[in-house]
Amino acid sequence: MKRTVRKLQGDSLLVGDLPKGCKLCSSGTKMVLFVTGLCDSSCYYCPLSQEKGGKDVVFADEMPVETAIDIIEEANAIGAHGVGVSGGDPLCRLDRTLTYISFLKEKFGEEFHIHLYTSQNKVDIDTLKQLQSAGLDEIRFHPQDNDWSGIEHALSLGMVTGLELPAIPGEKEKLIETAKRADDMKIDFFNINELETSETNFQKLISMGMRLTNLSSSSIAGSKETAISILEWGSKELEYTSLHFCSAKFKDIVQLRTRLERRLDRTIRTLEEKEEEEPIVVLGVIRAEHGKSMNMNDLLGILEIVRQKFDVPPDLVNLDENRNRIEIAPWILETIAEELKDELSDALPIEMGIAHEYPSWDRLQVLFEPV
């Protein structure tokens, strides 16, 4: 019986049922726990940054993780209802992965949904049993070859099991064969992602004759069309497995934006304002000129002047040691800027202005307006 191809947010498409992990992701309530950048595979389209790829590092969304408390901090910051465990390949650091899964279930309860992404489609059944016992709710495989023994093990254990692959232009038939096999095995879902470029995979993809959809996009031309044709085929031919096309637009406009909105609402400080249209915080910043830095004595001196000379309340000014700057309410900085410049004229050359930043841990700056 023919199933319907349904349109979702951000040009994504669905045949069947959306996996719970994806539902939470679309609502901005799924934290990404990057367990390690190590991986046994070498996919030419891997988008991992140089900061992460091949390195044994841990991140909770954009936050570098040193202890499990950092993970809890980020989960609380976005009001997470679940976590997607990824890499690299989290099974390359199995003990760490099991520890985090157990820890998160203990901290947030059984309803806290955890899915995991791996390219080890030959994983042994004992490893899967350990993951299941730790509390894993859903496992997603990125098949590397025709040996799907690990996927068969997951299904035999009753685990919610899916596949996840990029839609590579020119590989429609290969993806259809994968979907047929998934349906025959009664795999729950098959996520097909729009292929995107990054700083690390761009040259490889371009050297293979691929090109960008347009100059304002990171998506590869033909990827979306390949995925759409597979979903249209699957709506007629597949009986069990759900097909989900996850677009680049969805990841940027829906997934990321919604998560940032939730983080902003939970972390915005008294000294910050929120932009009207975008999940961006606005604050005043006093810092060294570009390419220079201030020592702690310089920062403390400026802080003292701002507090004492201009009588700025403690909750409207802050010393940010990590970013080597003084943060101040933007409306106050605009008022005192000229007089403050005179006060600091003999100090290290500084710049001050109104910063517009994403509310993520790394506070990516999108605009700086000097005052």
What is residue 1's predicted lDDT score, i.e. its pLDDT? 60
| Distance between CA atoms of residues 183 and 155, nearest Å | 12
Name residues whose C-beta falls within 8 Å of residue 202's C-beta, 6 or more positions apart in sequence.
none
Cβ atoms < 10 Å from Cβ of 216: 6
Same domain, 80 and 66: yes
Say how many residues make up the chain. Answer: 371
Counted domains in the chain: 2
CA distance to 5, 146, 179, 245, 349, per residue, from 229 (Å): 11, 23, 13, 11, 59
| Distance between CA atoms of residues 321 and 44, nearest Å | 39
Task: Enter the pTM of the model.
Answer: 0.93
Query: Nearest Cα to 163, choosing from 173, 172, 314, 152?
Result: 152
What is residue 214's predicted lDDT score, i.e. its pLDDT? 86
Q: Is residue 27 packed enough to be buried (19+ CB in 10 Å), middle (13-18) or exposed (0-12)?
A: middle
Model confidence pLDDT, tens digit, residues 51-109: 999 999 999 999 999 999 999 999 999 999 999 999 999 999 999 999 999 999 999 99
Q: Is 84 inside any structural domain?
A: yes
Same domain, 223 and 354: no
Same domain, 200 and 244: yes
Share of residues in the chain with pLDDT > 70 (%): 99
What is residue 346's predicted lDDT score, i.e. its pLDDT? 74
Same domain, 250 and 291: no
Q: Is 226 inside any structural domain?
A: yes
Name residues whose C-beta falls within 8 Å of residue 240's C-beta, 6 or more positions apart in sequence.
183, 186, 187
Average the pLDDT over 1-16 and give the result: 91
Higher pLDDT pick, 293 / 300: 300
What is residue 123's predicted lDDT score, i.e. its pLDDT? 98
Model confidence pLDDT, tens digit, residues 225-274: 999 999 999 999 999 999 999 999 998 888 999 999 999 999 999 999 99
What is residue 217's predicted lDDT score, i.e. its pLDDT? 81
Same domain, 244 and 343: no
DSSP bridge partners of 164: 191
Model confidence pLDDT, tens digit, residues 298-334: 999 999 999 999 999 999 999 999 999 999 999 999 9
Look at residue 216 and tell me whether its pLDDT is greater than 80: no
Same domain, 216 and 331: no
Same domain, 312 and 183: no
Q: Is 177 inside any structural domain?
A: yes
What is residue 290's predicted lDDT score, i.e. its pLDDT? 84
* Radius of gyration of the chain measured on its C-alpha atoms: 24
Model confidence pLDDT, tens digit, residues 175-197: 999 999 999 999 999 999 999 99
Residue 39: phi, psi to the nearest 5? -160, 140
What is residue 315's predicted lDDT score, i.e. its pLDDT? 96
pLDDT band at 2 (very low <50, low <70, confident <90, very high): confident
Domain span at residue 281 reads: 271-370
- The CATH number assigned to the domain holding 114 equals 3.20.20.70
Model confidence pLDDT, tens digit, residues 335-367: 999 999 888 877 678 899 999 999 999 999 999
